[in-house]
Each structure stands twice: as structure tokens, then as C-alpha cells.
Amino acid sequence: MAVKLTAPLTRFGGWQHLGAVKRPVDTRTTEELYQTINLWAQKNPEVKEFLPHLKEMNPKHLGLVADTIELANRHSMFPTDINMKGQTSAGKTLLGVLLDIFPRASKENPNALDFAQEVINNTDSITSKYFLWQTTGGVLENKNVAEHFKAAKPLVEIFAKETLMPPNPMIYDKQRDFMLLTRSVINEDADPKRISLVKELVDKIKEKAWFDLGDIVFSKTPVSKMQDNLNSVGEVADMFIENGKYLDAGRFLNKNTNLY
């Protein structure tokens, strides 16, 4: 028999690090998540309004719902804190708008919610709120980029470390940079197969080379050729380093290795 909760089972704890973070794995059971969301509903009318749609959610996205509600109930003294309970032009709070989106996206575009969860898992509360705010305009519901969300999910941690460190909680510059990279891959003009090459490229070159993300995800070079070049990019990057240079890995992947 499940233990009856008397308060929402929260995940984020007290004081939190800023910038790129690695949140602990969510160990709450499905029943605990149902209870947690119902307990939040006792304190918030928009969560209460959402309850009839709770059963429409894929159970794997209940953690995202609970995390989002928890974020809405967390506040900081930094000027970049986003009030998710403040009214928007849609006539609802940001939290209410997201709770309208989630059931539909969970069924029709689950990769988008998987990506959103990955953002929360790897960024501080400021960035998580900023991302959720920036994706309410139809982004999470856009089925045309479903495969892009799936291919880009492994890149979230990389993007966070690249853009959010060192953190600056006084302005949104870091969050804008994070979203700039995110929008480069969650883009109908980008190719999911090429997006999938980026994580392997980063792993191979580490900090020994550089590349422009657009040169990879918007490339017209056959994926098979890029994959062939990817197999040797680490060795070539090492040779460049030995000669005091940094390899443009994006250009390398798009060229015949014999001609570089």
C-alpha cells in the first residue's frame, strides 16, 4: 500500500548552484507524483484545473509536471528570477499556459517534453524557467521538429556547460546564449541525422578543436561522408595541436579528408 503524502514531494531542495548543474535522478514513483501534483492543486487553482487532464499524460512526463509546478513555487532575489505565477497576455500565468500545453504535447510530441525534462535536469532554476518561458509559443507542440528534439537531447548538458558557466544571475546573457544553441538544433532547417553527429564530435575533439554548430546541422554534405571524416577528426585535431593550431572541425567534417 502506497504511503499517503501530506506535502508535495519536491526534488530541488534548498540552496541551489547556478549555471550548469546536474540534478539528482528523480526517484519519485508514479503514485508519489500523482499525490504530489494533487497536493499542489490544493494551493493553486490552475493546477486544480489541470487535474482532469492528468490521466492524459504519459506517466514518464509526470515528473516534468511536478518539476514545473515546483519551479513556479521557487523564488530568488536575483533580478532574473521569472515569476511563473504572474499573468501573461494569454490571460493565464506562465504555469497555467504550460499546464495547458503538457497533456497535448505528451501525446503528440513526447520528444519535446523529454527534451524539456533534460533542460531542467542540467540547468539552474533561472535557465529552466527561461527555457520554459521561451518555448510556450508553439515550440513544444511543433511536431515538425520531433526528431530534432530527440537527436538534440544528448546536447543539452553540452550546451549548458558551454553557455552558462561562469553563471551571471544578474542578466539573461547566459540564458540567451543557451537558447541560441538550442534554437540552432530545434530548427526545421537543421537535419536530425547531422544533429546526432555533434555529441560524438564533441567527445572526439574535446577541447582540441573548435566548430561552428551551423556548419554541422545545416550542412549539405552527405551524412555518410561526414561520418567517415568524424572517424579521423580526433587524430587530425591532435596533429594541428602539435603544430600550434586549432582545427576547424566543422570544415573538416564537410570536406574530403584527403583534401584538407
- Asked if the structure places residue 213 within a domain, the reply is no
Burial bucket for residue 4 (CB in 10 Å: 0-12, 13-18, 19+): exposed
**Identity of the residue numbered 179:** M
- Asked if the structure places residue 156 within a domain, the reply is no
Domain residue limits at 29: 24-143+169-182
Planar angle of CA 23, 97, 63, nearest 5 degrees: 30
- 192 vs 203: CA distance, rounded Å: 18
- Asked if the structure places residue 42 within a domain, the reply is yes
- Asked if the structure places residue 249 within a domain, the reply is no
- Asked if the structure places residue 7 within a domain, the reply is no
Asked if residues 54 and 159 have their Cβ atoms less than 8 Å apart, the reply is no
User: pLDDT for 67-114, tens place per residue?
Assistant: 999 999 999 899 999 999 998 888 899 999 999 999 999 999 999 999
- Asked if the structure places residue 203 within a domain, the reply is no
Domain count, the chain: 1
- Asked if the structure places residue 56 within a domain, the reply is yes
- 209 vs 238: CA distance, rounded Å: 9
User: pLDDT for 19-37, tens place per residue?
Assistant: 999 999 999 999 999 999 9
Q: What is the pTM of this model?
A: 0.95
- Asked if the structure places residue 244 within a domain, the reply is no
